[in-house]
Structure 1
């Protein structure tokens, strides 16, 4: 997964870590490709398996209101990390909903490894 290191070096908070750590991180990541527009995460419902780093494509993040309308819509492209706050602060439930656009490619770092990085590197955690 050597090709992931340049991506991680551009993606906060991974950009704060030494290259030797990024090498280990890249070896733990799993690739996921979305072949059609997909609701990847639903706020307060989906349990996060880890954090996603967008390599290609886009994530549209938003909140559903009481009428199931999208609110606070944001669009994220590479380099972007989704899920860190959910893993650390929300008992691993997604804080926002995410619509992954067709053709989006993400690499997921398992929550255990992400939490270990948070515990080992204070600046990364913050």
Structure 2
């Protein structure tokens, strides 16, 4: 099975289908980071060879990001008012490493990240 590479960049892991299933179907949590009441996770799909960030316990104006640290591909998601859990679109992670990060809005330098995988 080959990875979906750039075709998966920017796609929703819960709806993008690769080889008959969504990328989220075989996803695993690679790392979890707890910060200020939030749970930030780096998720990975072996079938698609993609990564994305997921957060629980968040609130507006939190921002989550998945970043491929080898290719610099980035996907962001800004939480809306009343939204407490969310995930980013995917980045191609085939043969490279990614990490998930969290910010209290864009205006701060206060960010926390998972380890890279």
The normalised TM-score by structure 1 is 0.29
Structure with larger RCO (C-alpha < 8 A, sep 6+): 1
The normalised TM-score by structure 2 is 0.30
User: Could you say which structure has the higher strand fraction?
Assistant: 2
